[in-house]
A and B are shown apart, each in its own frame.
Chain A
């Protein structure tokens, strides 16, 4: 087995993902609708309330925008990783597996495709929020926010790939969603500041990778964060590298037939 990375294979898999995504119009609408509903109804519903545990003056909806962007990145990229299972189910994975390209290229192609889709979703939500009145703090913070979005996407794509490689079919899909993805979501501080949680739960939030991604994203977008942004950036980079590496490792180890 060669470890050579084939850029053409990465490009092909990325292009495939783009074509599939662009053709699934209803999926795009669906993927945007849920986070926007969250944003609209939670945001408007709680907007008059002071956010508990936040340094004063931050409106809830402003607090919520980065949270919802993080949420859609989390779901979209995990699904992107898990979509290997669909390819297994519909046989296309075999076609990729007999092609003369390294497994690493296949993993990277998938990550490139999934990350682009997730980012498209995240950026769309940010843009729609901006149309709705959300004001980011400038160009540099926007670039920083984008960096966090990339890191969140790749980290959870890796996670999705790890699960997909360990699972034989789609049976375990619901379990992963309910017992892994939703807890990651609720413990990340997407909807409320984590400072209010009892200490024993707060410990869990510290092992949740999304916590740091969101904290950095929020720091970049609205200037409020629990940890220093540099710390978030460093930790998130490390987490996504590890996740991508593990995803590639498990994918490589799994036999497709």
Chain B
């Protein structure tokens, strides 16, 4: 059974279309990512699926229940971790979970067992009796993830689960999310605008822009769409002769020359590098530097939208960081 089934889901706010005729399905047990810049409609999609917002048109089913017709059944089947913290900071960690569990109608013994289990999963057992206002950002996020799990939801929504966290904490949260998906067999839908997050965590990724999906597949397949890896060679010698030779090779899909750096697109670049170097040496050309780059989801996003996700978020800063300038000094 599909954990989520969405058909032409649409949400308009005063004429602005935030989610535009979205249709997709998520299978039970999947870790599904919604990737896109701020304002792409990711959070609105989550809010629609978690019954916080009413749909304008189209339909959506979560855990087999219609979000418009069976709100309470949907609510019982899901856990949500919102983008902004939604904890009561004047209560302790345990109290936050306790109140949550009571709201979901759990008896005392069951509550105790599941809260302990959830706290253990996110390593917060020792901080359980501390007021949440004394927690760090990462601890708060972990507590929220624990809370989203206490009532054993079938589907867990994580809206930007690592936004604003430092790299180390982010890595920890990623591990928790993976653990959850594997051990607790929870279907997880997460939104993110971090490419590496979607790449590392998700089985399938939907790239979202202006309320629509522009692509939907596994991270690997999405990257394959770009035609493979980019190998760059910094050379000394007759560039024109080498270019001519390279044009004869059938496994090279694209050749670009910028000053004395070649950028070559091909599949499985790591296996082709020795051959390339031999070829250059045969022509009496020295290779000073070789650089291999596997395409990232960032490139995929760029490919589908014509923009980098960071320039989309930063606005005026223009392109952030060159994708490839050849001087691979590593």
Is the beta-carbon distance between B54 and A16 smaller than 8 angstroms? Answer: no
Do B104 and A255 touch across chains, with their CB atoms under 8 A apart? no
B15-56 interface mask toward A, CB cutoff 8 Å, 1 = contact, 0 = none? Answer: 000000000000000000000000000000001001111100
Instruction: Name the residue of chain B whose CB is nearest to the CB of A19.
Output: B91
Per-residue interface assignment for chain B, residues 220 to 231, with 1 indicating a CB less than 8 Å from any chain A CB and 0 otherwise = 000000000000
Q: Do residues A20 and B72 form an inter-chain contact, with CB atoms below 8 A?
A: no
Among B72, B82, B89, point to the contact of A100 (Cβ < 8 A): B72
Stretch at the interface among B95-103, B276-284, B316-324: B95-103
Give Cα A8–Cα B100 distance, bound, in whole angstroms.
11
Contacts of B204 in A (CB 8 A): none
Q: Which of B72-123 contact A (CB under 8 A)?
A: 72-73, 75-76, 78, 80, 82, 84-91, 95, 99-100, 102-105
Whether A16 contacts B75 in the complex (CB less than 8 A), given A91-B82, A98-B50, comes out as no
Partner of A94, one of B52, B91, B100: B52
Contact B91 A99 (CB under 8 A): no
Most chain A CB neighbours (cut-off 10 Å) among B76, B82, B86, B105: B86
A12-B88 Cα distance, complex, nearest whole Å: 13
A99 to B100, CA, bound (A): 8
In this complex, the interface size class of chain B, counting residues with CB under 8 Å from chain A, is 20 to 34
CB atoms of B75 and A20 under 8 A apart = no
A256 at the interface (CB under 8 A from B): yes
| Contacting residues, chain B, for A256 (C-beta < 8 A) | 52
* Interchain Cβ contacts within 8 Å, total number: 75
- Chain A residue at minimal CB-CB distance from B52: A257
A95 engages B84 (CB within 8 Å): no
- Name A16's contact: one of B53, B72, B91, B147 (CB within 8 Å): B91
User: Interface size for chain A: under 10, 10 to 19, 20 to 34, or 35 or more residues?
Assistant: 20 to 34
Q: Judging by beta carbons under 8 Å apart, are B89 and A90 in contact?
A: yes
Contact of B86 among A19, A20, A91 (CB under 8 A): A91
Closest A residue to B85 by beta carbon equals: A91
A8 engages B103 (CB within 8 Å): yes
- What 1/0 mask marks residues of chain A from 9 to 48 whose CB sits below 8 Å from any chain B CB? 1011001100110011000000000000000000000000
Given contacts A19-B91, A91-B82, A100-B75, contact A255 B53 (CB under 8 A): yes
CB contacts (< 8 Å) of B85 on chain A: these are 90-91
Complex: how many Å from CA A170 to CA B73? 33
Residues of A within 8 A of B82 (CB): 91, 94-95
Task: Evaluate contact between A100 and B76: CB separation under 8 angstroms.
Answer: yes
Q: Closest Cβ of chain A: how far from B68's Cβ, in Å?
A: 10
Q: Which of A1, A2, A16, A98 contacts B99 (CB 8 A)?
A: A16
The answer to whether A20 and B90 touch across the interface, beta carbons within 8 angstroms, is yes
Contact status A20-B52, CB under 8 Å: no
**Contact of A257 with B47 at beta-carbon distance under 8 Å, contacts A94-B82, A100-B75, A101-B103 already known:** yes
Chain A residues within an 8 Å CB radius of B104: 99-100
Q: Is A201 an interface residue (CB 8 A)?
A: no
Residues of B within 8 A of A197 (CB): none
For the complex, is B71 an interface residue (Cβ under 8 Å from A)?
yes
Contact B102 A8 (CB under 8 A): yes
Is there contact, CB below 8 Å, between A94 and B53?
Answer: no
Q: Please measure, in the bound complex, the distance between the C-alpha atom of A99 and the C-alpha atom of B84, giving whole angstroms.
A: 17
Known: A16-B88, A91-B82, A257-B53. 10 other contacts (CB 8 A): A1-B72, A8-B105, A12-B102, A15-B99, A16-B91, A93-B86, A94-B80, A95-B100, A98-B78, A101-B103
A residues apposed to B, CB below 8 Å: 1-2, 6, 8-9, 11-12, 15-16, 19-20, 23-24, 90-101, 255-257
Please list 7 pairs of residues, one from A and one from B, whose beta carbons are closer than 8 Å in the complex, sorted by A's number: A9-B102, A9-B103, A11-B102, A20-B91, A99-B75, A255-B54, A257-B53
